[in-house]
């Protein structure tokens, strides 16, 4: 499926992707053209470099992490189109009737959580949070301040007292946030 | 619409323009209304004004605005006085109006000089000085303005005192009713014509801008721009659709002859355009009460703001067209009408944005003159409005975007107090303007110029409602195609139902020239009817409807730290994903703008630029602040739960006062001061936790009372004190004290240096007390010996020639890095641990002793340490500082007296400069003072603070502390890793670097605690010096208390850490304890920072706020 290097997707591939991700064939076609335009090597897969070549992503403070997120599910240094689509499927808006697993609120939160959780131990430690803060805030704020902010944040969310934010605690902290809205992209139809 | 008035010279009269461009009739009506305050002279004045008018009409050579203004002032200023003169000396009309005007003035002058005021009924002799006289005329206009505002506000109070009424009806309805009542009263009591005080000029120039500014300034930017597309769709397309649909429908019905008057299409379009616009004032008034969810709110409200441009253009267009007549309209007129829409809308926006940036830029420089900060915001926004009106742009758009633009930059620049001032002043202005508008609307209803046409009114109301619904339904489904959040049916309904009409339409309809549009009276009446229908019927029913339809309500809350950070993260993720998808959506645009803003705009407009994501910091400081407040409140109430607190606190205060006296004299040294340590009275190692808790709570309680006291005594000058003068005075006081004390210390220091090695160096005794006490305590001794043998043995093997063994006290040498020019060696000898008063410190240096002095600020403040410390990013074990060090330290700091006096001593510490301005190099004098306090006095027997005495880089590099992090890590991490780390790191570092360096590093690790103490001291003393010296005794206890408790907590955690290092087995228990300490310490720290902020609010405000939370973070983290 992912090994297609042809410009057009076959019907059965589209059907398969549609089944797994919930995208409409139209969307799949569009995203596939984007995929192939990103795929400089024309090898049917995307590497990290391919993604990081996007100029805006390169200056995104979290660009590395975002790219990294694409490669968490697949193995190795490249992802094929299905894997690409599976990551993107997290950001489909939630529709009432046909709800797939990938774009549920929990999955969206999980995606955000993984941004922090570098060592994938299921918990955000102080240092992991601090690293993200440093990326986002930049260098103008002293490290002490950031540290205290990070600690304050963990202290706020920490319920079991382990000085880490587990995924459950993370979800709790964002209970009132409209994650469904915030982490959805209106894909072109 | 607003632009219409700008074309005319402003007639600034509130109670009706004296001389209005509209011509004599209306003006005279307006004047008739004005005399309601002084009815006696009203008719006379009318006569007089008619004279003026006739003069004006006869010759128009003084037609310039300034002249008019003069005439008006003469009208208000002289009418009482020279009326008799005019009556008694009737003259033939002068050849020109100007001459006549001059004559009036002359008459007035002579009248006022020779005659008594006409308002008084009593007669007096000309040459007698009147004991009592009445002159209402002079103050009439402002008096009536004031009276109106007063009545309106009074009415507002009234509604809120009747909860049932205000629950059922929106305030706007009630105000209109009150206005109608007043109008009826006025109408029946005053003879002659009655015209509303709500003239278009009054409305557009004075009443509207504050409301719109308030809306723009407090506009949730993010939300607004997220939904900008939808808002624009409704504002532009929706309004145009409504205008044209209403206009053509009325025209079509008019063709059938139902109205019994002619309905020219252009007049109907004109009417349709003004009546179709949703009114921001009415919408705000209703929607603020029903609390619908924010998306709904922003869409309706945003539409009402942005449709101003459309309304202006449509109104002008149709007005001009109807002047031209349908026959003369060329296609080019239509085209220019469409083009003018873009000019008006974009021009207004650009003007607003430019003024917004200018405001940000100006406030960048106001930190010296905090009091006038708020005025810039108001004045410049108002200027933006007027500026847009000059060019016939949309003033509403201008002031809205001015507010939106300036907000972010201004908020970063102005002080906290100014922020509060701006907030409240803006709310007050907008709220009272709104009140007045609705009231005037009510008053304006009552006049005898109505021309009622039932069908016309009914059909207009019907068309307004129907087309609103149709427009919203169509446009919402259109918008839904491009929206992530779909507007559902209920929301659509509320959006259409919330399309209220208001005073804007009314003011516009008043502007229509009756001579051109014959139907103007009908329009006025119908507009009023539509407004009443929407405000009353829809305004009243929307509340229950919202409840019945179960519209998602808004929840008012402040974001938590987690939400703030994670939402920012999500923004970045989404922006990144949009880039991956190659789609440039909202997130992408915002991301772009933010980057641009951070890189180019903010550095120019913000004085103290904090880099990207200022919101995170803002949230943090707000939360910290709030927590501190809550903490205080909580503890104030729980104080009763602690038995014996009262006696403790009394004791505490007394002791401190005594100490104050002693310390101020400074002639007393250690021997003469009694030991006032609180710990001594109550200290019991076994019950340590209990005592801690008690003192902790006690202190937090103490924080409140003296403060209240101070508030009361200083309330009158509070603003001036803080914002203007006192800071300087205090600063001077600081300097004075610093001079005194540092001179003292310098003296002592040199003495000490001379008698090198002599154990007894005397210091102000108070600080000693704590340590004296502690050392006599068995527990401590035990600890001391134990840790000595354990730690020192372990630590010492590589440090040669410096130690005298555990029994001989601790002697160590702190050397600076090789790169440093200064080299400091400090020996602290403690031959007998039980005799804490004996100590010596010796400082060797190639230069004079002054330079040896540690410049504790530099060594202690983490970012000022030199590069060497960078290597130790890992936790360090304080081997050469045995466990009791921190223990003792803890006790010392926990002792209120010593801390307090430490605080007192420290005015000379760079409290203002050093704490908050890390960039500033600390001068030697301060450094000396710091060293004296921190190193030698405060912990005389303890090597820990001596660790502070390190080499002094002359210009310490500024960089974040990594050693600090190490220690934090150690504290913050879970219990288990600590011993390992501690066991592991010293050896590895020992291999890499020379022993002294290693030691140095360890010291720096240890410094963090001292650093915190140092900080808290500073706060304590900052607070201390906030008040006059005379009050210090009473107040300081409380105000310094936060620092105290913070310190207590922090040193407690220090203690806990040492325990961990000593015994791995007890790790679990200690870990728990640590956590407890941590939380309490962060509480206390928050309190301290709050205090800090409060006292600093004047010139140090911005820096103080930031650094304050920074400092609190320091405490909190350990």
Q: Return the HEC string of B214-274.
A: HHHHCCCHHHHHHCHHHHHHHHHHHHHHHHHHHHHHHHHHHHCCCCCCCCCHHHHHHHHHH
B560 close to A (CB below 8 A): yes
B585 close to A (CB below 8 A): yes
Residue A166 above 70 pLDDT?
yes
Chain B residues whose CB is inside 8 A of the A171 CB are none
At B694 the pLDDT is: 62
Dihedral over alpha carbons A134, A136, A140, A143 (to 10 degrees): -20
Residue B1114 above 70 pLDDT?
no
At B449 the pLDDT is: 77
The pairing of beta strand B825-828 with beta strand B841-844: antiparallel
Contacting residues for A92 by C-beta, under 8 A, at least 6 apart:
A21, A22, A23, A100, A102, A103, A184, A185, A187
Indicate the range of B232-246, B451-465, B735-749 predicted with least confidence: B735-749
Altogether, the residues listed in chain A come to a count of: 189
Residue B355 above 90 pLDDT?
yes
At B158 the pLDDT is: 86
pLDDT-derived band at B245, boundaries 50, 70, 90: very high
Per the CB < 8 Å rule, is B576 touching A62? yes
How many CA atoms lie less than 13 Å away from A161 in the CB half-sphere? 9
pLDDT digits (tens, 9 = 90+) for B929-972: 444 343 333 334 434 433 333 333 444 444 443 333 333 333 33
A 10 A CB-CB count for B835 gives 16
> A–B: how many Cβ contacts below 8 A?
185
At B354 the pLDDT is: 94
Residue B1075 above 50 pLDDT?
no
At A43 the pLDDT is: 78
Residue A37 above 50 pLDDT?
yes
DSSP code for B202: I
What is the mean pLDDT of the segment spanning B1077-1087? 45
Contacts 24+ apart (CB under 8 A), B966-970: B966/B872, B966/B873, B966/B874, B966/B875, B966/B876, B966/B1005, B967/B875, B967/B876, B967/B1005, B967/B1006, B967/B1008, B967/B1009, B967/B1118, B968/A147, B968/B1008, B968/B1117, B968/B1118, B969/B874, B969/B875, B970/B875, B970/B876, B970/B1057
Coil, helix or strand for B79?
helix
At B411 the pLDDT is: 86
Residue B288 above 80 pLDDT?
yes
pLDDT digits (tens, 9 = 90+) for B175-222: 899 889 888 888 888 755 555 577 888 889 999 999 999 999 998 888
At B1090 the pLDDT is: 45
pLDDT-derived band at B552, boundaries 50, 70, 90: confident
B369: left (phi over 0), alpha (psi -120 to 50) or beta: beta
Per the CB < 8 Å rule, is A62 touching B565? no
A 10 A CB-CB count for A167 gives 16
What is the mean pLDDT of the segment spanning B104-111? 43
Q: Among all residues of chain B, which has the CA nearest to that of A125?
A: B973
At B533 the pLDDT is: 92
Per the CB < 8 Å rule, is B863 touching A66? no
pLDDT digits (tens, 9 = 90+) for B991-1027: 444 444 444 444 444 444 444 444 444 433 333 333 3
The residue with greater pLDDT, B561 or B456, is: B456
At B1012 the pLDDT is: 42
Chain B residues whose CB is inside 8 A of the A162 CB are 974
CA distance A57 to chain B (A): 5
pLDDT-derived band at B122, boundaries 50, 70, 90: low
Instruction: List all residues of chain B from 601 to 640 with a beta carbon under 8 Å from chain A.
Output: 609-613, 616-617, 620, 623-624
Q: Which residue has the tokens 């830029």?
A: B361
Tell me the C-alpha distance between A1 and A82, whole Å.
7
B488 close to A (CB below 8 A): no
What is the mean pLDDT of the segment spanning B816-820? 40
At B417 the pLDDT is: 87
Chain A residues whose CB is inside 8 A of the B568 CB are 136
Tell me the C-alpha distance between B83 and B118, whole Å.
8
What is the mean pLDDT of the segment spanning B412-433? 90
Tell me the C-alpha distance between B934 and B767, whole Å.
10
Instruction: List all residues of chain B from 860 to 879 with a beta carbon under 8 Å from chain A.
Output: 862-863
**CA B783 to each of CA B523, B558, B774, B809, B947: distance values in angstroms, whole numbers, following the listed order:** 92, 47, 11, 14, 20
pLDDT digits (tens, 9 = 90+) for B460-494: 999 999 999 999 999 999 998 888 788 888 889 98
Fold of A11-91: Recoverin; domain 1 (1.10.238)
Q: What percent of chain B has pLDDT over 90?
A: 11
Residue B357 above 90 pLDDT?
yes
**Contact at 8 Å (CB) between B951 and B865?**
no
Indicate the range of A51-60, B788-797, B1039-1048 predicted with least confidence: B1039-1048
What is the mean pLDDT of the segment spanning B1092-1097? 42
Identity of the residue in A63, A141, A185 whose CB atom sits nearest the CB atom of B611: A141
The residue with greater pLDDT, B804 or B144, is: B144
What are the backbone angles phi and psi of residue B851, rounded to the nearest 5°? -75, -25
Tell me which residue of B909, B979, B947, B937 sits closest to B827, measured CA to CA: B947
At A74 the pLDDT is: 54
pLDDT-derived band at B703, boundaries 50, 70, 90: very low
Residue B913 above 90 pLDDT?
no
Tell me which residue of A113, A94, A90, A110 sits closest to A102, measured CA to CA: A90
pLDDT averaged over every residue in chain B: 63
The neighbouring-strand residues paired with B657 are none
Contacting residues for A187 by C-beta, under 8 A, at least 6 apart:
A23, A27, A30, A31, A92, B581
Instruction: List all residues of chain B from 638 to 677 with a beta carbon under 8 Å from chain A.
Output: none
Residue B333 above 50 pLDDT?
yes
B613: left (phi over 0), alpha (psi -120 to 50) or beta: left
Domains of chain A by residue range? 11-91, 101-182
CATH architecture of A101-182: Orthogonal Bundle (1.10)
DSSP for B177-188, please give it: HHHHHHHHHHHH
Altogether, the residues listed in chain B come to a count of: 1118
pLDDT-derived band at B610, boundaries 50, 70, 90: low
Per the CB < 8 Å rule, is A136 touching B1075? no
Residue B387 above 90 pLDDT?
yes
Tell me the C-alpha distance between B788 and B807, whole Å.
8
At A91 the pLDDT is: 82
What is the mean pLDDT of the segment spanning A99-121? 79
pLDDT-derived band at B80, boundaries 50, 70, 90: very low
Tell me the C-alpha distance between B512 and B519, whole Å.
10
Q: Do domains A11-91 and A101-182 have the same CATH topology?
A: yes
């Amino acid at each position: 499926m992912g090994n297609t290097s042809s410009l057009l997707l076959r019907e059965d591939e589209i059907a398969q992707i549609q089944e797994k991700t919930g995208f409409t064939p139209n969307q799949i076609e569009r995203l596939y053209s984007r995929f192939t335009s990103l795929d400089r090597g024309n090898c049917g897969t995307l590497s990290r470099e391919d993604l990081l070549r996007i100029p805006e992503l390169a200056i995104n403070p979290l660009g590395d992490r975002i790219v990294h997120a694409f490669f968490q599910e697949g193995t190795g240094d490249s992802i094929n189109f299905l894997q690409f689509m599976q990551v993107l499927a997290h950001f489909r808006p939630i529709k009432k009737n046909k709800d797939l697993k990938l774009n549920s609120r929990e999955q969206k939160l999980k995606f955000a959580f993984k941004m922090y959780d570098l060592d994938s131990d299921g918990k955000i430690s102080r240092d992991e949070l601090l690293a993200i803060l440093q990326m986002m805030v930049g260098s103008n704020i002293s490290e002490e301040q950031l540290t205290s902010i990070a600690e304050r944040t963990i202290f706020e969310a920490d319920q079991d007292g382990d000085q880490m934010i587990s995924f459950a605690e993370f979800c709790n902290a964002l209970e009132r946030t409209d994650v469904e809205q915030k982490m959805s992209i209106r894909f072109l139809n | 619409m607003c632009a219409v008035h700008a074309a005319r010279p402003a007639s600034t009269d509130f109670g009706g323009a004296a001389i209005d461009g509209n011509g004599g009739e209306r003006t005279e009506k307006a004047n008739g209304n004005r005399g309601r305050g002084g009815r006696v002279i009203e008719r006379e004045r009318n006569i007089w004004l008619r004279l003026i008018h006739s003069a004006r009409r006869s010759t128009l050579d003084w037609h310039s605005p300034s002249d008019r203004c003069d005439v008006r002032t003469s009208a208000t200023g002289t009418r009482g006085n020279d009326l008799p003169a005019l009556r008694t000396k009737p003259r033939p009309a002068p050849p020109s109006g100007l001459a006549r005007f001059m004559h009036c003035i002359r008459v007035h002058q002579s009248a006022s000089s020779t005659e008594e005021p006409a308002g008084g009924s009593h007669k007096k002799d000309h040459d007698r000085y009147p004991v009592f006289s009445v002159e209402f005329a002079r103050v009439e206009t402002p008096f009536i303005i004031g009276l109106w505002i007063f009545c309106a506000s009074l009415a507002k109070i009234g509604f809120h005192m009747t909860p049932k009424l205000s629950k059922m009806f929106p305030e706007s309805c009630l105000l209109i009713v009150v206005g109608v009542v007043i109008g009826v009263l006025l109408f029946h009591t005053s003879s002659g014509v009655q015209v509303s005080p709500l003239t278009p000029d009054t409305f557009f120039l004075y009443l509207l801008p504050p409301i719109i500014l308030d809306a723009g300034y407090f506009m949730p930017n993010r939300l607004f721009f997220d939904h900008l597309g939808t808002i624009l769709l409704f504002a532009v397309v929706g309004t145009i659709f409504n205008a044209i649909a209403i206009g053509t429908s009325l025209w079509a019905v008019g063709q059938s002859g139902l109205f019994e008057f002619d309905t020219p299409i252009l007049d109907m379009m004109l009417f349709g355009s003004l009546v179709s616009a949703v009114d921001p004032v009415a919408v705000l008034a209703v929607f603020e009460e029903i609390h619908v969810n924010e998306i709904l709110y922003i869409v309706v409200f945003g539409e009402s703001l942005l449709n101003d441009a459309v309304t202006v253009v449509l109104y002008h267009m149709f007005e001009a067209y109807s002047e031209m007549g349908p026959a003369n309209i060329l296609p080019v007129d239509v085209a220019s009408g469409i083009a003018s829409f873009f000019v008006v809308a974009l021009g207004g926006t650009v003007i607003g944005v430019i003024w917004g940036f200018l405001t940000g830029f100006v406030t960048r420089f106001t930190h010296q003159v905090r009091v006038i900060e708020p005025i810039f915001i108001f004045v410049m926004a108002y200027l933006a409005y007027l500026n847009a009106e000059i060019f016939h742009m949309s003033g509403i758009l201008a002031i809205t975007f001015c507010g939106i633009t300036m907000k972010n930059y201004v908020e970063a620049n102005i002080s906290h107090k100014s922020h509060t001032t701006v907030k409240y002043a803006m709310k007050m202005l907008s709220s009272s303007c709104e009140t007045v508008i609705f009231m005037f609307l009510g008053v304006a209803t009552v006049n005898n110029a109505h021309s009622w046409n039932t069908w016309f009114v009914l059909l207009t109301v019907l068309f307004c409602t129907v087309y609103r619904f149709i427009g919203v339904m169509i446009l919402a489904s259109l918008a839904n195609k491009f929206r992530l959040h779909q507007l559902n049916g209920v929301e659509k309904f509320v959006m259409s139902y919330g399309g209220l009409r208001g005073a804007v339409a009314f003011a516009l309809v008043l502007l229509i020239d009756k001579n051109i549009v014959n139907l103007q009276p009908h329009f006025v009446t119908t507009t009023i009817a539509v407004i009443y229908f929407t405000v009353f019927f829809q305004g009243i029913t929307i509340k229950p409807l919202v409840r019945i339809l179960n519209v998602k309500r808004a929840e008012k809350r402040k974001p938590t730290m987690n939400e703030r950070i994670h939402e920012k993260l999500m923004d970045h993720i989404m922006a990144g994903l949009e880039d991956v998808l190659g789609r440039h959506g909202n997130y992408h645009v915002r991301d772009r703008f933010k980057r641009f803003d951070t890189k180019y705009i903010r550095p120019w407009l913000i004085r103290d630029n904090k880099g990207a994501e200022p919101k995170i910091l803002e949230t943090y400081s707000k939360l910290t602040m709030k927590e501190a407040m809550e903490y205080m409140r909580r503890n104030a109430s729980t104080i009763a739960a602690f038995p014996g607190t009262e006696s403790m606190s009394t004791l505490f205060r007394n002791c401190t006062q005594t100490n104050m006296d002693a310390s101020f004299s400074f002639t007393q040294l250690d021997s003469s001061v009694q030991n006032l340590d609180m710990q001594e009275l109550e200290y019991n190692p076994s019950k340590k936790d209990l005592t801690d808790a008690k003192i902790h709570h006690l202190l937090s309680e103490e924080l409140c009372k003296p403060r209240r006291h101070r508030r009361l005594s200083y309330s009158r000058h509070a603003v001036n004190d803080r914002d203007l003068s006192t800071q300087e005075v205090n600063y001077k006081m600081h300097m004075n004290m610093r001079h005194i004390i540092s001179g003292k210390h310098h003296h002592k220091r040199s003495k000490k240096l001379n008698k090198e090695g002599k154990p007894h160096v005397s210091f102000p005794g108070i600080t000693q007390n704590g340590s004296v006490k502690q050392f006599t305590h068995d527990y401590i001794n035990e600890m001391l010996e134990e840790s000595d043998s354990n730690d020192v043995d372990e630590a010492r093997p590589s440090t040669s020639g410096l130690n005298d063994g555990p029994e001989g006290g601790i002697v160590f040498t702190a050397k600076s890095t090789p790169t440093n020019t200064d080299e400091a060696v400090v020996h602290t000898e403690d031959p007998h641990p039980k005799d804490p008063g004996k100590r010596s410190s010796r400082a060797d240096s190639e230069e004079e002793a002054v330079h040896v002095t540690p410049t504790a600020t530099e060594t202690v403040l983490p970012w000022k340490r030199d590069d060497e410390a960078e290597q130790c990013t890992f936790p360090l074990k304080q081997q050469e500082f045995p466990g009791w060090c921190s223990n003792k330290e803890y006790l010392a700091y926990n002792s209120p007296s010593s801390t307090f006096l430490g605080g007192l001593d420290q005015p000379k510490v760079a409290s203002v400069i050093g704490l908050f301005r890390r960039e500033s190099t600390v001068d030697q004098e301060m450094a000396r003072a710091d060293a004296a306090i921190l190193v030698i006095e405060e912990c005389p027997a303890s090597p820990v603070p001596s660790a502070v005495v390190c080499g002094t880089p002359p210009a310490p590099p500024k960089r974040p502390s990594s050693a600090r992090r190490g220690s934090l890590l150690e504290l913050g991490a879970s219990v288990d890793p600590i011993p390992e780390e501690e066991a592991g790191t010293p050896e590895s570092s020992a291999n890499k670097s020379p022993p002294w360096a290693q030691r140095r590093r360890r010291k720096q690790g240890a410094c963090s605690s001292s650093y915190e103490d140092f900080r808290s001291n500073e706060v304590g003393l900052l607070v201390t010096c906030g008040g006059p010296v005379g009050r210090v005794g009473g107040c300081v206890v409380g105000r310094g208390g936060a620092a105290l408790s913070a310190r207590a907590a922090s040193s407690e955690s220090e203690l806990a850490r040492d325990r961990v290092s000593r015994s791995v087995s007890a790790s679990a228990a200690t870990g728990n304890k640590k956590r407890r300490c941590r939380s309490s310490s962060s509480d206390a720290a928050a309190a301290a920072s709050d205090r800090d902020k409060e006292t600093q609010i004047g010139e140090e405000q911005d820096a103080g706020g930031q650094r304050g939370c920074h400092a609190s973070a320091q405490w909190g983290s350990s």
